[in-house]
Structure 1
Amino acid sequence: MRKLILAISTLAFAGSAAFADPIQERQALMKERGKIAGQLSKVVKGEAAYDAAAVLVALKALQANAEKFHANVETLFPAGSETGDTTAAPKIWEDMAGFKAIEEKYLADVKAAAAAAPADVDALKAGFNTIGGDCGTCHQTYRIKKG
């Protein structure tokens, strides 16, 4: 029993420590998001076979990522975290309401795509194109392009 309590305490501490650096936490979420989107993109482009179960798993993972981001947007973008090793544009802090609106649309579109459980590649393309559009809108306004 002691080992179980110690393990739970360690995990709880590790979970709270992850937010000690909001820049690293939001970068980790975006990298995870990019990896999942990359898997779906391969299916959409015909570079990977369509597998309904695998697509649904990926969409659910994208939804979990979006929900975590949504639930923690305030702690991921606190004042002062706009400087340092980040590509988050100052526009986020200047227009937090606009940033949150785009993020909420993204979350709703990801949830809709996952709930639809696309039956084929064409259905996946429709939802994925909407999600990709959300990403593009956010990146154009709220992200600094690298080099």
Structure 2
Amino acid sequence: MRKLVLAVSMLAFAGSAAFADPIADRQALMKERGKLVGGLAKVVKGDAAFDAAAVLDQLKALEANAQKFDVATMFPAGSDKGETEAAPKIWEDPSGFKAAGDKYLANVKEAVAAAPDSVDALKTSFGAVTANCGGCHQPYRLKKS
């Protein structure tokens, strides 16, 4: 009986995952990314104190966030409809969009590997990470109205 309950629970969970809302999922991921980038930006600007361990933790969280960015799952056909800022170019140029996400992830991984030990070191690695933002938002994100 216990195995049956477990099996039914697993099927229910798998079924609910199949009906996940990709628009809500990607918006949640980007909101989380924005908070992480915002926290690091405060340190870079001098609005928050530099703490090497805390910075590394935030960079690792940013890496985990970037690793969740899966174009096929988060931008399936038909998810261009609804309340989304995703530009049509995402579906017109999926390989370019994926390449932009891959470059961002690579830069975040480099920042984590560098483990900045000063604000100046953070500025360098964080600058490489944030240089990706406009490169993706300009072609692949609709302007807010």
- Tell me the CA shift for residue 61 of structure 1: 0.1
Structure 2 matches for 1:107-126, cutoff 5 A?
107-126=105-124
Aligned partners of 1:19 and 1:75 also within 8 Å:
no
**Gapped regions of structure 1 (runs ≥ 5):** none
- Tell me the CA shift for residue 144 of structure 1: 0.5
- Pair 1:129 & 2:127 matched: yes
CA distance in 2, matches of 1:85, 1:75: 17
Distance 1:18 1:112, change over 3 A: farther
Structure 2 matches for 1:132-147, cutoff 5 A?
132-147=130-145
What do the CA deviations read for 1:100-130 (whole angstroms, capped 9, x no partner)?
1111000000000011100100110111111
Which residue pairs with 2:56 in the alignment?
Answer: 56
Q: SS of the residue aligned with 2:68?
A: helix
Q: SS of the residue aligned with 1:86?
A: coil
What do the CA deviations read for 1:38-86 (whole angstroms, capped 9, x no partner)?
00000000000000000000000000000111xx320100000011100
- Tell me the CA shift for residue 18 of structure 1: 8.2
Which residue pairs with 2:42 in the alignment?
Answer: 42
AA in 2 matched with 1:59: L
CA distance in 2, matches of 1:39, 1:19: 33
Q: Aligned pairs, how many? A: 139
Which residue pairs with 1:33 in the alignment?
Answer: 33
Structure 1 vs Structure 2 CA RMSD: 2.1
Whose Rg is larger? 2
CA distance in 2, matches of 1:52, 1:144: 36
CA distance in 1, matches of 2:15, 2:111: 28
- Tell me the CA shift for residue 95 of structure 1: 0.4
CA distance in 1, matches of 2:65, 2:18: 15
Normalising to structure 1: TM-score of the pair?
A: 0.87
Which residue pairs with 2:65 in the alignment?
Answer: 65
Which residue pairs with 2:99 in the alignment?
Answer: 101
- Pair 1:86 & 2:65 matched: no
Q: SS of the residue aligned with 2:34?
A: helix
CA distance in 1, matches of 2:114, 2:76: 34
